[in-house]
Amino acid sequence: MKPNKLILLLAAMAVVCFIVSCNNEKTYLPKPRGYFRIDLPEKAYSRVDTIERYSFECPQYALITPDPYSPNEKNWVNIEMPQFKGSIHITHKPVNGNLSEYLEDVHTMITKHLQKANGVSDSLIVNDEHHVYGLFIEMDGKGVATPMQFYLTDSTRNFVRGALYFNFKPDNDSMQPVINFIREDIDHMINTFEWK
């Protein structure tokens, strides 16, 4: 076979293969980016009554540990959630006419996170029966370091601040199911919070 006829035959075969492959009814699309499946534990709570100034109900999947950075502060604890690589840091301060300073500190902490937030929402906390008052702050945004913060006070003697942190670079879009799950637990903790 002559070289020109061979090239023409190969070109014709390539065109036929191209036409046949274009008529395939199956269309293949790349899969969207996915995230790991997160198994959430069953909801169950138990009362934490070992802290000197306050008590609350905590999820049973969590561990209560003293704050390692403030060993002298007996009322500062971390609620560790190892399966989510996160924790809720809780600090307690006595109120001695300085409540406005503590509220300003909370405002400053929230302001630091606003640069990464797409939106901020807050909810007033009022529990007259147990004299628990405060504010729950939720921040939306992919890179927000603490998606939830709150403070609780009896306005005269005690002030507690809590913040949820994860032990990795935040990607709150992929963590949203976990954040929503923990939000329910924080709501339960706040609703069962009592001063001693």
Each of the 196 residues of the chain gets a pLDDT tens digit; together they read: 566 777 777 777 777 777 766 655 666 677 666 666 778 999 999 999 989 999 999 999 999 999 999 989 999 999 999 999 999 999 999 999 999 999 999 999 888 877 778 888 999 999 999 999 999 999 887 778 889 999 999 999 999 999 999 988 766 667 888 899 999 999 999 999 999 9
Q: Which residue has the tokens 């306050």?
A: 54
Contact 153, 134 (CB under 8 A): yes
| 3-state class (DSSP) for residue 38 | coil
Provide the whole-model pTM: 0.78
Distances (CA, A) of 160 to 66, 92, 99, 154, 155: 15, 4, 11, 9, 11
